[in-house]
A and B are shown apart, each in its own frame.
Chain A
Amino acid sequence: MIRKILLGYDGSASSDRAYEFAADLSKRFGAELHVLAVARPPEFGDDVETRASIEHSRRHYDRALAALKGRAASEGMTAQFALAVGHPAEQLVRYAEQHGIDHIVVGHRGHTRFDRWLIGSVARQVIAYAHCAVTVVRRNGS
């Protein structure tokens, strides 16, 4: 039984697909939907720029979440929206633990080989560390 679903959202096309999947899942199971966006600071930071980067990311995700909130409301969906700062996979897993989430849904952005080598895919890391079921929604045709 799925009672609480967590969607990792970054405003990308793949996370929009993941939202559609999570919303459908939520309706079918009557589950609570949580949406989490994560503002990621630079991996190796420095003074003023790190702060500026976090502020910029927050503004970006605030706008993305506000848009998604409007879309959810127009579709009659109720969801809880939250914004965290840090490593996306870590924050998703942490949020899931804290809120008793039993299913995480994330999009797949199709990183390049270099991205995967450098930072790994968020989806892969969530799968590796999450305590609950994880669904990775791939883009159409990929």
Chain B
Amino acid sequence: MTHIWAQAALWLGLALIATLLSIWLKVTTALSEIIVGTIAQLIIGAALGGVLLAGDASWLKFLAGAGAIVLTFLAGAELDPAVFRRKWKEASAIGVVGFVAPFLGCAALARWLMGWSHDASWLAGVAMSTTSVAVVYAVMLEFGLNATEYGKVVLAACFVNDLATVLALGFLFAPFSMKTLVFIAVSIVVFIVLPWVTPRFFRRFGNRPSELEAKFLMLCLFAMGALAAWAGSEAVLPAYLIGMVLAGTVGKDHVLLRRLRTLTFGLLTPFYFIRAGSLVSIPALIAAPAAMLVMLIGKMVTKIIGVYPMTQVYRQPPREARYTTLLMSTGLTFGTISALFGLSHGVINQAQYSALVAAVVLSAVVPTLIANAFFLPHHLLDGESQQPKGPSPVGGEGEALARRAP
């Protein structure tokens, strides 16, 4: 056990360093954890050998995997079902295009420009097809677009985009067999029953110090994850879908979500993101940086080609439309999950994994830098601000630019 405690202490020490860096640099902890994991592997691996930081211990894999599952569930639970029901046609159109353009574009670049294998190219397409709902949500809040029809459609479209990514990851590399059919059939039943059972179960037995809610949700996530893995699929697929079907019930319980986030960010995701970073090979990246750059540029260009025309259908001002579209190129969580899936299933090698994760990390940084450099706050100077004038609107989820304080 001494070795396990020492290793756990080392990893949590790295997580603490990453958190301090994220506070200092004002970036998300996930981003700094990946980078700290990469650098720590390089330094500790060179100084003390790779064993100390080895991310292949079963307990560590479990914590990292659980982190990915619960994080994916929380991402799905952020869906606004009411908006989605009203706008599903438009959202599906933008979301599918937002997925297909980078998926096919980056897969084609990987296959024909970089000569990757058939499966590795598809995986590159999946990893690059993601978007970050929350980043787009933050931008919508900044522009006051979240309360507009356009904002709601784009936010719902981001969910469709990520759903398509998760479905592609879950089924593209899975052998289609009887197990797949069993997995699909059980999933359908679970997804129908859960939204009915969960709120009633929580009302009857929940809201106690024993944290029944967290245990119940993790039981569902792990059980469906086990079924997905048994069918050769990926555990995050049912996790995201469970999040989506429970968005209207569990997703509205902010206290419960905060408790789950405490568990996730405090213990689980540091292991996931640091592990994802520690598997990146800096020497491989330095030896062949082209793959990383091709993937990054390919993702941004294909996202813009795919999504920008749709924003013009909604007659969005060009600056805001370009800003939103650029930020749809971000997507750290599902990008790293896809790449890690590829590496652990032997679909890609470590050099390809390194290129994909580096491109995913850069995709969280570069579009934001470009957007801030070219679109903020310059639009205020040239009189193109498109905000409606008038008093501050009301708060809550439908909050626009600013709201009255209590």
Q: Which residues of A contact B (CB under 8 A)?
A: 35-37, 40-55, 61-62, 65-66, 69, 80-87, 89-91, 93-95, 97-98, 114, 118-119, 125, 129
Contacts and interface: CB of A to CB of B under 8 A. Distances in A.
Interface in B309-363: 330-334
Given A65-B405, A94-B387, A46 B28 contact: yes
Secondary structure of the A contact surface, majority rule:
helix
B390 A54 contact: no
A43 B334 CA distance: 19
Nearest to A69: B405
A49, A52, A119 interface centre (most CB from chain B within 10 Å)? A49
Contact of B135 (A50, A95, A98, A118): A50
A93 B380 contact: yes
Contacts of A89: 377
A90 B142 contact: yes
A85 B141 contact: yes
B142 A45 contact: no
Interface of B: 22, 24-31, 71, 74-75, 78, 132-135, 137-138, 141-142, 254, 258, 261, 264-265, 330-334, 364-365, 368, 372, 376-377, 380-381, 385, 387, 389-390, 392, 395, 399, 401-406
A42, A90, A94 interface centre (most CB from chain B within 10 Å)? A42
Given A46-B28, A118-B26, A98 B138 contact: no
A125 B75 CA distance: 34
Given A83-B403, A98-B389, 11 more contacts: A43-B25, A43-B27, A48-B74, A49-B265, A55-B254, A66-B406, A82-B392, A82-B405, A93-B377, A94-B387, A129-B377
A45 B135 contact: yes
Given A53-B28, A87-B142, A48 B75 contact: yes
B390 to A, nearest CB: 7
Contact of A49 (B28, B380, B399): B28
A51 B22 CA distance: 16
Contacts of B133: 47
A24 to B, nearest CB: 21
A86 B364 CA distance: 17
Given A47-B133, A94-B387, A42 B22 contact: yes
B246 to A, nearest CB: 15
A42 B139 CA distance: 11
B250 to A, nearest CB: 14
Contacts of A90: 142, 376-377, 380
B137, B265, B387 interface centre (most CB from chain A within 10 Å)? B137
Contacts of A118: 25-26
A116 B31 CA distance: 22
A87 B332 contact: no
Nearest to B31: A44
Contacts of A46: 28, 30-31, 132, 134-135, 330, 332-333, 364
Nearest to A53: B28
A85 B333 contact: no
A44 B365 contact: yes
B137 A51 contact: yes
Contacts of B390: 98
15 contacts: A42-B22, A44-B27, A45-B138, A48-B261, A48-B264, A49-B134, A53-B28, A54-B141, A86-B142, A90-B377, A91-B401, A91-B402, A94-B401, A98-B387, A98-B390
Contact of A45 (B132, B258, B395, B404): B132
Nearest to B75: A47
A114 B368 CA distance: 20
B138, B264, B385, B402 interface centre (most CB from chain A within 10 Å)? B402
Contacts of B376: 87, 90
A49 B403 contact: no
